[in-house]
């Protein structure tokens, strides 16, 4: 019976609710967009149960009430991951970036730092920046919902590369660079780092000047095998490796 209950809860529909703190017994009015989706698209009725997560590690089993409200029943708190992953991504073209944000979230990336680099071709125009940011946040939220990533990744856009490299904190700093002759496994420590940052260039790669600056900031230049990977492949590949070695990819536990 216990296994059946766990399975039933895990299959329950789950949605993102931007609420800073969830507590059992709370009655919350749903955002209009979510209300319309639940009532019009899914045709859920008062009394139906759903799951809501707030992106801060809380998941609540909730029941729908009248007047677009939900009552929170049981709230589960998920701790922050033991190993935090930051992806510093040189801005690529829009469709590639959306893939990186979506799949990176599914893989458990905790921070995305998007920065224009010398060879970036996907530069943000000021008149479209707000709409693009809203779209990227939606992509991250949906990927977190789908993958049950209960800690919503942070998205930071627009800082220069020097500023990002100087502000992102990490015990292990990696630079994926096709000019490097050092394989990844040579620099990986035996003990799990608490924070890892990875710098990946845009479509045209990383310039010598950018690589030199990153290495001066403590980033170790490495490569993944003999092949040159596309920008949308490189970051995801190394994040999967790091999650398996140091994170929760091998544990089967939710984050």
Could you say which of 16, 51, 77 is where a domain stops? 77
CB contact at 8 A, 87 and 235: yes
DSSP assignments along 31-85, one per residue: PHHHHHIIIIIS---TT-EEEEE-SBSEEEEEEE-STTEEEEEEEEEPPPPSSEE
With a cut of 80, say whether residue 255 has pLDDT above it.
no
Are 70 and 95 found together in one domain? no
Range of the domain at 38: 2-77
Assign 7 a pLDDT band (cuts: 50, 70, 90).
Answer: very low
Structure tokens at 202: 């845009």
Q: How confident is the model at residue 98, as a pLDDT?
A: 96
Could you say which of 40, 62, 77 is where a domain stops? 77
Q: What pLDDT, in 10s, does the model give residues 51-104?
A: 999 999 999 999 999 888 999 999 999 999 999 999 999 999 878 999 999 999
Could you say which of 77, 102, 118 is where a domain stops? 77
Q: How confident is the model at residue 254, as a pLDDT?
A: 59
**61 in any annotated domain:** yes
**252 in any annotated domain:** no
Q: How far apart are the first and last CA of the chain?
A: 25
Are 161 and 226 found together in one domain? yes
Q: How confident is the model at residue 11, as a pLDDT?
A: 66
Q: What pLDDT, in 10s, does the model give residues 158-211?
A: 899 999 999 999 999 999 999 999 999 999 999 999 999 999 999 999 999 999
Are 21 and 109 found together in one domain? no
CA dist., res. 104 & res. 115, Å (int): 16
Q: What pLDDT, in 10s, does the model give residues 129-138?
A: 888 999 999 9
Beta bridge partners of 195: 84
Q: What pLDDT, in 10s, does the model give residues 39-55?
A: 889 999 999 999 999 99
Task: Report the pLDDT averaged over residues 6-14.
Answer: 63
Q: What pLDDT, in 10s, does the model give residues 109-125?
A: 999 999 999 999 867 77
**178 in any annotated domain:** yes
Are 54 and 104 found together in one domain? no
Are 124 and 41 found together in one domain? no
- Separation of CA 166 from chain center: 21
Q: How confident is the model at residue 125, as a pLDDT?
A: 73
CB contact at 8 A, 50 and 72: no
Q: How confident is the model at residue 80, as a pLDDT?
A: 93
Q: How many domains does the chain have?
A: 2
Are 93 and 191 found together in one domain? yes
CATH of the domain at 55: 2.40.240.20
Are 71 and 101 found together in one domain? no
CB contact at 8 A, 144 and 78: no
Q: Is 0.75 topped by the overall pTM? A: yes
Q: How confident is the model at residue 253, as a pLDDT?
A: 61
Integer CA distances (angstroms), 153 to 47, 176, 179, 245, 250, in order:
32, 21, 30, 20, 20
Q: What pLDDT, in 10s, does the model give residues 204-252?
A: 999 999 999 999 999 999 999 999 999 999 999 999 999 999 998 876 5
Q: How confident is the model at residue 4, as a pLDDT?
A: 43
With a cut of 80, say whether residue 1 has pLDDT above it.
no
Mean confidence (pLDDT) of the chain: 91
**253 in any annotated domain:** no
**255 in any annotated domain:** no
Are 13 and 63 found together in one domain? yes
Are 166 and 52 found together in one domain? no
Q: How confident is the model at residue 199, as a pLDDT?
A: 99
């Amino acid at each position: 019976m216990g296994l059946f209950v766990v399975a039933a809860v895990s299959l329950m529909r789950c949605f993102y609710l931007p609420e800073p703190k969830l507590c059992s017994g709370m009655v919350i009015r749903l955002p209009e967009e979510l209300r319309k989706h639940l009532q019009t698209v899914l045709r859920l009725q008062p009394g139906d149960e759903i799951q809501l997560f707030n992106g801060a590690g809380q998941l609540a089993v909730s029941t729908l009430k009248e007047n677009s409200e939900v009552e929170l029943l049981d709230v589960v708190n998920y701790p922050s991951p033991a190993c935090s992953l930051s992806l510093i991504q040189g801005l690529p073209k829009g469709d590639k970036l959306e893939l990186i944000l979506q799949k990176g979230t599914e893989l458990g990336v905790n921070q995305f730092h998007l920065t224009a680099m010398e060879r970036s071709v996907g530069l943000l125009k000021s008149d479209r920046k707000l709409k693009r940011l809203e779209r990227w946040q939606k992509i991250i939220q949906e990927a977190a919902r789908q993958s049950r990533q209960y800690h919503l990744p942070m998205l930071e856009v627009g800082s220069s590369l020097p500023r990002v490299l100087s502000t992102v904190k990490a015990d292990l700093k990696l630079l994926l660079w096709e000019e490097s002759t050092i394989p990844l496994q040579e620099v990986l420590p035996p003990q799990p780092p608490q924070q890892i940052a990875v710098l990946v260039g845009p479509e045209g790669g990383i310039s010598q000047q950018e690589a030199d600056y990153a290495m001066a900031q403590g980033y170790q230049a490495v490569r993944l095998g003999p092949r040159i990977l596309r920008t949308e492949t490189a970051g995801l590949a190394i994040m999967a490796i790091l999650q398996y070695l140091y994170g929760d990819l091998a544990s089967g536990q939710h984050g």
